[in-house]
Every structure is written in C-alpha cells, then in structure tokens.
Structure 1
C-alpha cells in the first residue's frame, strides 16, 4: 500500500496541484501543423513544456529539452533506467462559443475543473508531477530511475515521439496515463485507405465526412440528372429537388456500431437507381449498418482483441472524380498485409483504385507480464475493485513502444467530454490519480 507519508503529502499539496493544472490549461497548446515562431509545434506548446520542466527542475529532477519536441525529467540519471511515464501537453482545438467557460481559462465549478486538456492530457501530467513531488518530500529513495516524458504532438501524429525515439531508447517499462483504467494492454492494428474512380454517375457533387477516423453524421449530394430510384425516402433522407442529404449519427471509427453512417445511408438510397452504378457498387462494399468489413470480405475476430471494424469515413465527388477514405481497425488474428490485399482485390473487382495511407500493426503487451501485473495490483490496491486488461480499437501514445501500456486516467463509466465541449476532471479524481501514480512509481522503482 502507499506509505502514509506520501498520502499526506499528496493531500497537503492538492491545492497547489489544482493551481498548477489551472496554469497549464491556460496555455492554448494546440500543436501547429508546421513550425511556427522557431518552435516545431508553435509557441503555446513550447511555453507549456517550459512551464512543466521548470516545475520538475524545482523538484531536483534533471531535465532535458529535446528542441521542444519533447521534454524529459530524470529522478536520478545515475540509477538504472527502468520506468518511463509518457504524457503529452498538446491538446485538440476547441470552439469557445460551444463551451460554458473559456476552454483555455480553467474554471472550477461543482467540484470539477473545466478546461481543454483537463483529462487529456494535462491533468494526468500534473498528477505525475505531484506524485513525484510527494515521494521526494517524503524522503523515500528509489532504486531505479523514473524518466518522466512530456511530448507536444500526440494529437497530431506523435512526431514528437518519433523525434525522441530516433535519439534515445525508451526505458524498459513505459506506461502512459493517456487512456483508461484498469489497463489497456492491446490496441488493434489500423489501416487507412483511399479509393478513387472516374465516375459516370449523374452526380455534380457529393460531400461527406471531415475526419478519416470518424463515422460521418452528414452526407449531401447534388444530382445532375433526375433520380429514378425505388428506395423509400425514410426519415433520415432530406430531398429538395436535385439536392439530397442524409442525417446520421457520428461516432469514433473504433466504435462505429454506435453511429449511423450517413455515407452508406445515402449510397444505399442512390444505388436503387440503376444510373448510379458506382454508388450501388460502394453500397455493396459498405452495406449500410454493417461495420465488420463483410462487404469487403475482411470480417474476422478473436477472443482477446474482438472484431475487426471498418467504415467508409469520407466520400467526395467533384468534376467526375470520386474519392473516398476507409478506416479499418483489425485484431491480432490477422495482419495488415492480408487485410490490404483483400481490400484492394474487392475494390479492383468494382473498378476502383485503392491505396494505403497508413498501416499500423496491432500493439499487444501480454497480460501475464510482470509489468502489467504490477500495475493491475496497484489499481486493485488503490480502488478496492478487481483489475482487468482491456483491448481497444483506438491507439494510445504507447502504440509504437514495445511492452508499453496505457494506465489511466479515465475511470470506467465516466464521460469526461474528452475532445468535446466542456472537458473536465473532478478535483477528487485529480488527488486519487496522484496517489495512483505515486503507488505505481513506488511499486516498480521503490527501494
């Protein structure tokens, strides 16, 4: 169990932790897609990194700034490298008009701190910082080094991590509190594909989807000829002359069954007219309501990682050229090479070209590894509830780090509005997670 002295220091420093998180939220650290102001991800991200490294230096940790791609803080670099804790300081954009308060000015109400990054991933970074502070102030020695890593581009491709790993090896054990409890040990592989065709379908314009990793809620088409289909209009179809639209339900590509894909809904409707041969072909490859890749012949599943998921996430037609995007999350029972070959064959049979944009193998750390078992034991001790390993369709910050896992900070059953409006973190959970991080550090690196 966590030493009483550490628990007491965490509680005594809680108000300071809240102030630190409030200041950190104040940096609008949305990573710039191109270098700005002499910084790889822009000045706000650089300022956030400077702020955190200063806090860590004040604890007596040895800090290194890797050209504002990533920062590192070592507990004691003379000790054997062992544990890496990986957080990120960049955040997704926010639309201030959709928030009840300024997303980049922390506001506390009803026992929660609101602000962009509160749960993803500035709150977790502050929890790690104050866990380290409590251990240091309690005078408890560590026998192995902890390296706290702070990145600035997780939300936009993790080039920060690529930059760092090209220069330094990761510690033998790495976790990121940028996921969910109890522990994420398996992440499906991912294929992102683009398909194209010069189409003769009477479409002046087709527009649907703005993100390659999301089920689109809206699809609209302008026709260049009268529609003569037999499909019923239905409540989701809106038709005004030669303009048609489908209203669906958005969802993340990793959980597409919770959405209603507007692209496939509209394709199915258009495909009932023989003049829309390419729409019909796509509707056969992506049957409406089907998310397991059956239409492409790639459906598969295993007991540990679950079923393959597949969506058509974007589709545009302009000047007679049809372009679309496919997002596939596949389990460990298959390979990216096998899935790609099957998909390309299915598209070719319909006259479409198809190429891979992103290919990523599954990430799998065995449940019975000592590292995983240590973290599960920490979770059970701190929460009093059974710990278990979980598999996800999304990817975490450790996807490309062998042996890495995601450990926290989202508790089961909570919706923290991550990436959404009014993102928050309960203040009570900030303190609970600080204890969790301290317990993990001491179990893995303690004397």
Structure 2
C-alpha cells in the first residue's frame, strides 16, 4: 500500500509511517512463536536496563513540579513499576495467538467455502500523555497482534519514552526483525500532534489516551479512523439492603487505590435507607477524600461541601468524591444515564433482581456487580494488558487487548464457480 504526502503534512512523519508499514508486512507473516520471542526480548531488555530507565524518568520528574499529584503519579516510574512493565509484556506473550485465527466459516449451496480470518490492523498510532508504561504495553500488544506502532507521547515524559523505545527497538533487532516496527515521534509540539492526527492513509487507526483536551482535538482534527479511550466518570451505586462492610471495602478500593486513573470511582450514589450508616463508615475510612454532595449528603456528613452540576459530570482523577443520596434504583440509573461517560458503572447489592436490572439497563463499556471499578483493566481481566479502554461502540469497546487490535478478512475458496 502506498501513501500520499498531502500538502502541509510533515515529511518526517510520513517517512516514519512508510518505514513502519514496510516492517509490518514481514511481522504479519511471522509465526506467533517469533512474535512471542520478540516480546520476551523486550521484557528482558526492560529488566536489564531498569536503572537507565529510572534515571531517564528522574529527568522528567524534575521538570514536573507544576503537575498535580495525580499527574505526577502517572508520570513516575520506580523499580516496582518497571517490574510491572516487564511482567505485563510477558503476560501479553502468554496470550493465545489470534493472528490467522478462523473466526467462523460456512459452505454455500454452490460449493463455495467461506471463512472469516483474523488479521492485523496494520499501522497503529497511539497519542498519549504522561504514562511511560503505555509505551511498553502498547508496543507489546501491537506487535503481538502483528501490527507496527507509531508512538507520540507528551513532552513531560519524553526522556522516559525515548529510553524505553530504545530498549524495545534493540530487542526487536536482537530477534532479527526490523526496529522500524516501532516509531517514536519526538516532536511534542501542538503542531506536531495535529500533523500526527492527520496522517491519513499512512496510518490505519489512531488511539488517543489522555484528557478531554486531547480527545476533543482528535475528534476535531483526525483524518485517521480512531478508537477513543475516553473519560472515566465511573459511578458506584449502593443499593437498599447492601452489605455495608463489603460496600465500604469496595468504595475505598475504587476511590483511593489509585485515584488518578480512568477506572477510579468518581461518583457515589447511595440509597437513602443505608445512606446514614454508610456515610458514617466512609467518613472515617475515606478521611483523605473530599466529599462533594447534595443536601441530604451534607446533612448526614457534616464535612461534605456542596456539589455542583459540574461535579457530577467530572472525572476528578484526585481524592475528591461526588456523592448523591437517591430514593430508588430507578433514580440511580437515571443519574448514571445523565452523567456517565460510558466507562465503568458498578452496583453493590444483595438483590439478584436489582443486579440484573442494573446490568441490562446501564449502558457502559463495563458494568460491575459487587466489585471494584478498578478491575476494568486489561491486565486484571486476563488480557495481558490493554492499549486503552474504549468508551465508544465501534470497532472495540472496553479494555483493548490483542484481539481488539485485529480485524478480519473474508476468504472464499471454490472450484471454478461463477456468478449467474
């Protein structure tokens, strides 16, 4: 496939994309064992170069003083997080190989044999903000699914990303494949971002991972098909008669385990019959969390401040929780329908009927019953890792792993049949 270089497009980006596409052709025909070998070399390289990666990340952290606590947390690497990157790559390599998988097949009355076969997407672009682990996770997923990848991170994570990509490219070369399978865009300017979004047919799909400003820019400017990794305004509804000990543990985990990520809880909805008892428990357990609530919440929890309309629609990514007391399951579902970003929604209940109603009536990428929203994660769900969590409905929804980075083609075999 050849690509054109439209007027105004950055020649360097097109060169990177063309080299990535050329390299991808050989990877698409490589066996699953070879692709797994590439990932093992990548994991070993990350492990062996941990000190160099941490030193590069320290340079980025020194420039990040003005970031919020949540933003600094997303940017920071330490030995534990580097070890998690290594483990994630190896988990991906242990996933079933889906490239070439026959999804289904049938035989027509005229004898034609038809089958639908899973194939790579081609060249995947990822534009993302301050999360260096995305660099290794996204690369491992893309390559194991037979794709090449173009990475465009943020200026604040540039040193970390450059160091990681250098290790990944070295691992690819070590196995005997083309390092151009991974392309990193060093231009972190706004103009560079717009040029990346407008690569047209040079790129097969673009996946943005970041805040509302980045997502809006992609929606407005991208000339490439996109899969949106959207906001996570995640709700937890505590039903009438819920087990409050279980509810407290789930809420604490969903809000505080890592508040600066998209699957953290942002709004608590609680049935009026259990609101007083639950908020008494949470007042102690969530001592670091700021509560923003409606009038009933403020009457039951004296330290809660008034919630605005915007608070119920926000992804705080911080130790802030919007709270609303509701009179029924219907009211909770109505609230979620109004404010949800379509990411992850949870109910805590002892009622099977209410759980089933919630599952059937709430429209989100993930719906959970009696468990934490923090489980909406490719690694936690047995997918090895994720390249993002799609909040749209085409072509993927929810955590995107290896299978979601492929498409299908129809193969038709005959013995000379012609259409009449």
With normalisation by structure 2, the TM-score equals: 0.29
Q: RCO higher in 1 or 2 (8 Å CA, sep ≥ 6)?
A: 1
Structure (1 or 2) with the greater strand fraction: 1
